[in-house]
Amino acid sequence: MPDAADLSALDTASIDVTLSGAEPRRYPIVTRAGLIGRLGDECRRLGVLGKKVLVLTDTNLQNRYLGPVQARLQQAGFEVTSLVLEAGEASKSLSQAQAVYQTLIQQGFTRKDTLLGLGGGVIGDLSGFCASTYHRGMTLIHVPTTLVAQVDSAIGGKTAVNLGQIKNMVGTFYQPKAVFADTETLNSLPPREFMAGMAEVIKYGLIETACDGQTGFFEWLETHADDLKAVLPAMIHRCAAIKAAVVMADELETKGLRFFLNLGHTFGHAYETLSEYGILHGEAVAIGMRLAVRLSVQEGLMAAPLLQRLDALYERVGLASVIETAPHFHPKEVLAVMKHDKKNQDGGIKLILPYQAVGQVVVRDDIPDAAILSVLTS
């Protein structure tokens, strides 16, 4: 894990994601302050060929970033159209995907043209889904503007929309042409959104060794938790590197490694669904990770001190309040939703649990319902 002294180098860091297959693919994840100011030039440098760009964003970002993004793309010679959706999880739906398709058709977009997702996880998932299915695949660029998106959801090629109350039920695997993470966008992020993003960051500390063999990120977070803004580029870079390593090794989630990225998500998605998305994704992940650690300790997979360290880290980054104010649902309700999780196979609930040492995890689908209900009840 890089030291804080290396921030100047990491602020311009680029990670290449190289994927094998019938047609080998490669794209950069670029983390840099001020990227939006040179977005058009970066797209041209990458060899984006189509003339048209549709910028998909939401009402939270419309006034702050849409104008500058359009201007920079136009200066680089692109014809720019925009579509602004209502902010929130409700926009990640098939009906909103249809609105995107209609705009693309009306404006004469071809598969060589570009769909650029400007926003957080909802916009990223929806833009990826639409880009992957319009003309069976058009150019996709992610410009994530939240911490959750910069460290996690914009990386790796998973796209999805929700189907009714079931999260991410309809989706594809589709890689972008590039991910441009402008760290300056986080300066305007509401504190609640930033805090929620820290749940995904902490997740990487708990799965690091299993993903790329390295150690120390959880401890690094414990060291720097009181001044995160000072180490932001290094933190984002490390998370992106872990995610990229997993994606390169298991792009289509067929080898088991990519499951590790779902630590806390099976519990968390249930809380998201039952709250009708009244809690943020990162908040749900924070709740879910704590439940996963408690279950691991209960089942003898992990020593109890990890739960104490996790609680202490939550306290320092502001996530303790999420646990304290977590919505209360009947344990059997939560369990019922967990049984519908798309990762499940053969009737068992697939869970990713900490195992033996910080950074290591194991996939289990044989945990009895009674054991899961126990941690949900206590």
Positions annotated as catalytic residues are 136, 158, 200, 243, 253, 258, 262, 265, 269, 281
Q: Which DSSP string corresponds to 167-188?
A: EEEEEEE---SEEEEEGGGGGG
Which of 342, 363, 197 lies closest to 273, judged by CA? 342
Structure tokens at 125: 């998932």
Determine phi and psi for 186, rounding to 5 degrees: -75, -15
Which of 123, 165, 152 lies closest to 140, judged by CA? 123
Strand partners, 29: 15, 179
251 three-class SS: coil
246 three-class SS: helix
Which of 195, 154, 161, 194 lies closest to 175, judged by CA? 154
Task: Give the relative orientation of helices 281-298 and 191-212 as an angle to the nearest 10 degrees.
Answer: 40
d(Cα 124, Cα 281) in Å, to the nearest integer?
A: 14
| Neighbour count for residue 39 (Cβ, 10 Å) | 27
